[in-house]
Structure 1
Amino acid sequence: MMSPHRTPDWLLERIALGELPPDELAAARARLAQEPDGEARLAALEAENRTLLEQRPPSVVAREVERRARRSEARSLETSPWLRWRPALALVPVLAVLLLVVARPGTRPGALEEESAEETRTKGLSPQLGLHRLAAEGPEALTQGTLASEGDVVQVSYVAAGARFGVIFSVDGRGTVTLHAPEGGLDAMSLKPSGTHALPQAYALDDAPAFERFFFVTSDEPFTLEEVLAPARVLATSDGARTALLPLAERFRQVSFLLEKSSP
C-alpha cells in the first residue's frame, strides 16, 4: 500500500504542470518538499515532459497525451472517490488537455467510453476546444484571449461530447481561413464521441495580425466542409471576425477559442 506521505503519481503530474488552484498547488508543493524523494521525482517528470516534446513528432505526442490522460483520470478516481461527484480536469504531463467529465458514483474508469452520445449530453457536456502552447519548459494551457505571438506552436484538442461529425479551423486577422481537421477531403471528420483527443499535428502561428480564432463546429449528421467553410470565409473578412458566431443552420453546434496576437 502506498504511504500516505508519498504524493501519488497522478497528483505529481498535476503539480508538474501547475494545473491546480493556487492554494492547492502551494500546499501540494509544500507536502512534496517534505518527502525524501519528492523534489527528485518532480524534476524527473519535468525532464521527461521536455524530452517528449522535443524529440517526438506531434502524432506520437498526441497518442501519449491520450494514454496518460486515461491513466491519470483512472488513478485520481481510485485514489480520491469524491472526485466522481464533480467535473474534473484530466491533467497530463505532456499537454494539459481539457477533459470535462461528470461521472456517476460507482462508475469504473473507462466506463464513460461506453456511453451513448445522448447519455453524454444528459450530463450537461457540450463540445469543447482546448489549446496549449508548446515550449521547451513544458506545455502551457491557454485561456480565452491569451496573448500569443508569431512562431508560437499551438496544440489543439477537442471534446466531442457525443457529437458525431465535426470540423476544426481558424480565422485570423488577415481574413484567412485555415483548416486544421480533417486535414483534407470534402467532408467533415468522424469524431470520437467521448474523451479528449489531440489533433495529430500542432500548429505554428504565422505573422497574421490582431488575432487567431479557432472554431469547432459539430453535427450529429454528416456534412460537407463547404457548408461551414463558406460562411467562415465571409465571417473572416467581416468586422465580426473576432467575436461573431458563424451563421449556420440549427443542426450545427459551434464553439470558438480566441487568441489575441501581440504587435511586432
Structure 2
Amino acid sequence: MSGVPSSGGRWADLRPRLLSALVLLVVGVVHVWIGGKLFLALLSVIIGLMIWELARMTARGGPAWLPVALGLAAGLVLAVDEGVARSPAWLLFPPVALAMVLTPRLLPLVTGVLTLAYLAAGHAIFVIRDDAGTALFLWVLVVVIVSDVAGYFAGRILGGPKFWPAISPKKTWSGTVAGWIGAALVGLGFWAAGQGSGLLPFLSPFVAFAGQMGDIAESWIKRRAGVKDSSHLIPGHGGVLDRFDALSGAVLFVAALQPLVSLMQLAGGP
C-alpha cells in the first residue's frame, strides 16, 4: 500500500527504532513503579552488558573471557556503588576503564573513556532520581525517545544534507533539528503539567543533542570496528549498547548541569 512503511528501503530500521523506544519505556516503568533494588539490578545488568559489548567488539587479541570479566566488573561495581550506603565503589570506575585501555583492542584510549562514561551514566541515573525524583528522570527518558522518533521520521521523509556523513551516514540535518523540536515540546509538556520548571523547554533540545552525540559516539566505534551492531543479544535488533547509547549521553549532560543549576530547580522544587 502506498505511503505505508515497508520492511525494506528507507524504513528498514523502523523496527529497531521502535524496539529501542519500547526498551527505554520498560526501564522507565520499572523505575517509576518498582524502583529500589530491582531497578538497581536491572540497571547494573544493562551497564555490565554495555561494557561487555564494547570490550567484545573492540578486542584485538587477548583471552576470550576478558570482555565477560570487564562486563561483570562494571556491573558489580555499579551495583555496590548504588546499593551500599556511603559506598566509595565509584572510585573503582577509573580502574575498570584503565583495564579496557591496557588490554589489546582497537582505539584503547577512546574505548576507556567510553567505559568511564557509561559507568558514570549509570551513576547519573541514580543521582537524578535521588536529587530530583522520578519525574525528572522520565523527562530525560521521554526527550530521548521523542527526539529519536521525530528525527527518524523527519529524516526519512524530508531527507536533505547529512549531519555527519563520515560517522553516521543516515543522520540528516532535518532529522536532527526535528529531534530538537520534539524535545522542546516534551519539555513544554512536562512544565505545563507541573512536573518541572520553566527551564525544561529550553534545556530539552540540549538534552536531545547530548543523546544524539551519545549515539554518534557509538556509531563511530562500530564503524571503526567494522560491525553493524554492538552484539546480537536482541535478535534482529542489535545489542544493549545500541539501545542505551543515547540515554547515556543525555543523563550525563543533565548530571553535568548541577554546577550551574540544581536538579531540584529543574524538577520545579525550591
Could you state the TM-score of these two structures normalised by the residue count of structure 1?
0.25
Could you state the TM-score of these two structures normalised by the residue count of structure 2?
0.25
Q: Judging by fraction of residues, say which structure has more strand.
A: 1
Q: Judging by fraction of residues, say which structure has more helix.
A: 2
